[in-house]
Amino acid sequence: MRKPKPYDHSDPRPPSRSQKKRDSAALQVLGGKLAELPESALKRLDLAPRLMEAIMDYKGLAKHEAKRRQLQFIGALMRETDSDPLARAVEDMESGNRTQAREFHAVEAWRTALLSGDESGLEAIVALAPEAEQVEVRSKIRQLVRNARTEAEKNKPPRSSRTLFRLLRELRQSGQGDLPESLPGEDIDDEGQGGHPDDQADFDNETELSSDEAQDGLARKTTF
């Protein structure tokens, strides 16, 4: 679907009726995206009090029709604020979430491949560690894989599997070498198979600080 052409405010002619409808629809969509953000993220955006109140009221509604009417109200309030910085902030947040999801699934794919006995990508993973530590890292990965399989066979808590996940994540995030272009299983999409919920929680918690700092920077640069 072709993206609507934004109105050129330098044009001396008033916007057409169809352009006004497109602008109104775009503002309502943006308001809907704001309404889906957590309260902590909304506070960083320093929204106008009436807009913030309307969004919080929306979050408390349960019925579809009530939520639809509230979204229309939010869209109307959006006309009273500078929407461009808000749109950029929301886009940056969404981009960050997609990147985080891809990173999680990539690490999970590495672990899944190793636990299934596929070591075709092991050397590329090991190469991310400092050269002096690579022998130790290779040995540690293989030991964790063996322990994780034993735990699974005996129906024990997946401690070694989670430790392996954290090690692979650390190698990926602070690797000394370039990330390999492709490793087994990395074609899982963002909505694909996930790992243990605790792994996802750990991943989210440890990336929250950097995400918060990035959003705080956006808020400092943005005035509404």
- CA distance readout (Å), 113 to 10, 31, 58, 122, 144: 56, 42, 43, 9, 13
64 and 137 housed in the same domain: no
Residue 176: the pLDDT is 56
203 and 177 housed in the same domain: yes
The CATH code of the domain that includes 73 is 1.10.60
Amino acid at 30: L
134 and 187 housed in the same domain: yes
Distance, CA of 100 to chain centre: 4
Residue 215: the pLDDT is 43
64 and 101 housed in the same domain: no
Residue 58: the pLDDT is 92
Last residue within a domain, chosen from 81, 105, 131: 81
**Domains: count for the chain:** 2
71 and 108 housed in the same domain: no
Q: What DSSP string describes 89-111?
A: HHHHHHHHHHHHHHHHHHHHHHH
pTM greater than 0.75 = no
Residue 36: the pLDDT is 87
pLDDT, block means (10 residues), the chain with 224 residues:
48 64 81 86 85 92 91 88 83 76 87 93 92 95 96 92 93 70 48 47 45 41 35
Residue 221: the pLDDT is 37
Question: Which residues span the domain enclosing 54?
Answer: 17-81
The CATH code of the domain that includes 140 is 1.10.60.30
